[in-house]
Amino acid sequence: MEVLETVDRDRLAQLRERDEFFWLDLTSPSAVDLQVVGEVLVLHPVALEDTNEFDQRPKIDVYGDHVLVVFYTARRAPESREAPVEPVEVHIYVSGSFVVTVRRSTSTQLDALHGELATADHKAEHYIVYRIFDVLTDAFYPIIEVLEERIDALEEQVLLHKPRQERLAEIYRLKQNVQEVHRRVPERDEFLAGMDSVLNLPGFARGSREYLRDVGNHLAQITGELHRQQEDLRALTATYFNANANRLNNIATRLTIGGTFFLAWTLVTGFFGQNFGWLVDNIDTKRDFLLYGVSTLVVPTLLIGALFWVKRKDWF
């Protein structure tokens, strides 16, 4: 099977004339290139309008003898971005004579597939289409691992270290990133129902539905993993606030202990600081100072300290 990466009007016309199944994989094509592809392959204007605009939801639209599938995969985001991963939108046109993929971002999985499908039998349309959807779907698995590593790192920061404000911001950003990717993953049942339209296209070599069911099962697994990660991040948010509450409780406990000591000391010093005649006339020696002054400070301090020490496991 021939794999094309640029728009060549004459070459496309020759392949259509020979009715030889081919794959045209375009990265960031111009509006002129898309117009040429639409004219030679007789693509529906509404479908071309969606591809020109991009930013479409996952969907499968049937246009007579061809189908437009708006499919999403994912890749690691550049280091400059705060989000660790980003969804990649791919428009896939399928007919009985060709498959066209259009994307605006690089996809190493599709690039690596060029060599494999270049040697494939051009009559095995169902397998060729399956392999394109398969590599796009499988690209989610390493992305899930990247997200899992970020979640584990945040959990360690929250549980084993002091929960700081920037950790909460990271949790929210990561949760939004996971939700964004989750929204772009096609639903298994919708995908399989739409693929029936592909298998019923005129001139399409009808193959085994098990191939596409395999893609559907992978989509279900990916959706489940992303949903679980969203739940983990929600739980981590609650854990952050609980850890902060515990930290504040510990601070309040320390302040309470210190306040209790100062209350006893203030009571003693306040009493002996009063200007009663008897106190002024009778407590005037060093012995009286040590007996009434120092001892009445030390004894309550020791009693209160012993009480806190004995009850530390029950109170703190």
Strands 59-63 and 2-4: unpaired
- The pLDDT of 72-97, averaged and rounded, is 86
Q: How far apart are CA 234 and CA 236, in angstroms?
A: 5
Same domain assignment for residues 148 and 195: yes
CA 311 to CA 316: how far, in whole Å?
Answer: 8
Number of domains in the chain: 2
Mean pLDDT score, 92-102: 92
* Sheet containing strand 59-63, strands side by side: 2-4, 22-27, 98-103, 85-95, 66-76, 59-63
Q: What is the mean pLDDT of residues 173-183?
A: 90
Instruction: Quote the domain boundaries for residue 311.
Output: 252-315
Q: Specify whether 130 is located in the same domain as 264.
A: no
Same domain, 236 and 276: no
Q: Is residue 122 pLDDT above 60, yes or no? A: no
Residues 169, 291 within the same domain = no
What pLDDT score was predicted for residue 221? Answer: 92
Rounded Cα distance, 309 and 42, in Å? 85
Q: How would residue 139 be classed by pLDDT, with cut points 50, 70 and 90? A: very high
**Residue 159 sits in the same domain as residue 81:** yes
**Considering 220, 244, 268, which residue would you say is the last residue of a domain?**
244
Please answer whether residues 132 and 139 qualify as being in contact, where contact means their C-beta atoms are separated by less than 8 angstroms: no
Residue 207 is predicted with a pLDDT of 60
What are 94's strand-pairing partners? Answer: 67, 99
pLDDT at 196: 78
Residues 299 and 176 in one domain: no
* 154 lies in the same domain as 301: no
Q: What is the pLDDT of residue 137?
A: 93
Does residue 263 share a domain with residue 127? no
User: Across residues 244-256, what is the average pLDDT?
Assistant: 75
Q: Do 123 and 19 have their domain in common?
A: yes
Same domain for 150 and 264: no
Let me know how many helices (H) and strands (E) the chain has, helices first: 13, 6
| Same domain for 224 and 273 | no
Query: How confident is the model over 98-121, as a mean pLDDT?
Result: 85
Residue 261 and residue 234 share a domain:
no
How confident is the model over 51-75, as pLDDT tens digits? Answer: 998 989 999 999 988 999 999 999 8
Residue 208 pLDDT greater than 60, yes or no? no
pLDDT at 312: 67
| Residue 65: CATH number of its domain | 3.30.460.20
Q: Compute the average pLDDT of residues 263-290.
A: 72
DSSP sequence for 122-182: TT-HHHHHHHHHHHHHHTHHHHHHHHHHHHHHHHHHHHHS---HHHHHHHHHHHHHHHHHH
